[in-house]
Amino acid sequence: MRKEIIVLRLGHRPERDKRITTHVGLTARAFGANGMLLASDDQKITDNIEEMTSRWGGDFYVRNNVEMTKEIKKWQAEGGKVCHLSMYGINLPDAVSDLKKQSRLMIIVGAEKVPGEIYELADWNVAVGNQPHSEVAALAVTMDRIAEADPLTAPFENAELTVVPTAKGKKVIHDDELKEKNKTAH
């Protein structure tokens, strides 16, 4: 059974965090999360990420304007566990074996100061090293360390666009070319 991982993005300020929150969502998707919950109202973020998903494949979703405490408590009541990423937490290598055992995991990342309540509600407060850096970096490293299979080689179903890795330049196959190729191969 595929693990269920969702990312809860806190503290997004529409006037200044658009790019970084979009990157949180795209990183969550690229490294194998099922979806992202945005605890702020910025429908454009949802639209942008879902538009990317429709072109690049998979079934990643975004839910806009969720109520953070309600979502955390609901997730836990349904048997899910919660890992809040914070530079003040226990270091990831000391938490990774517990995190890997979870079949339903919510990963929380902040933007500005995260409310104290989140530290209390989380099942783990986990640092990706105890130095300040970025929610995007913290999420990517965590997703990579807890993955069962290498997330860098995971396929994305129903993609309109697929990159063909090349040593130089850019090669992208469009869905219709791929279908044509598969037809001639059979």
Using the rule CB under 6 A, is 133 a contact of ligand SAM?
A: yes
Report the alpha-carbon distance of residue 154 to residue 66 in Å, rounded.
Answer: 29
Q: What separation in angstroms does the CA of 132 have from each of 61, 89, 92?
A: 28, 12, 14
In the 8-state DSSP scheme, what is residue 115?
P
The stretch among 35-43, 52-60, 134-142, 156-164 that binds ligand SAM (CB under 6 A) is 134-142
Shortest CB 142 distance to ligand SAM, Å: 8
63 near 33, Cβ under 8 Å? no
Shortest CB 182 distance to ligand SAM, Å: 42
Q: What does the per-residue mask of binding to ligand SAM show for 113-132, with x meaning CB under 6 A?
A: xx------------xxx-xx
Shortest CB 41 distance to ligand SAM, Å: 19
Report the alpha-carbon distance of residue 150 to residue 147 in Å, rounded.
Answer: 7
One residue of 135, 143, 146, 159 binding ligand SAM per CB under 6 A: 135
Could you tell me the two tokens for 49?
């990420």
Using the rule CB under 6 A, is 111 a contact of ligand SAM?
A: yes
Beginning with the edge strand found earlier in the chain, give each strand of the sheet holding 61-63 in spatial order.
Answer: 61-63, 35-38, 4-9, 104-109, 81-91, 124-127
Give residues 32-91 in contact with ligand SAM (rule: CB under 6 A).
85-87
Complex with ligand SAM: residue 2 or 113, whichever CB lies closer: 113
Q: Contacts with ligand SAM: how many residues (CB under 6 A)?
A: 17
Using the rule CB under 6 A, is 143 a contact of ligand SAM?
A: no
Report the alpha-carbon distance of residue 54 to residue 58 in Å, rounded.
Answer: 8
Site residues for ligand SAM per CB under 6 A: 85-87, 109-111, 113-114, 127-129, 131-135, 138
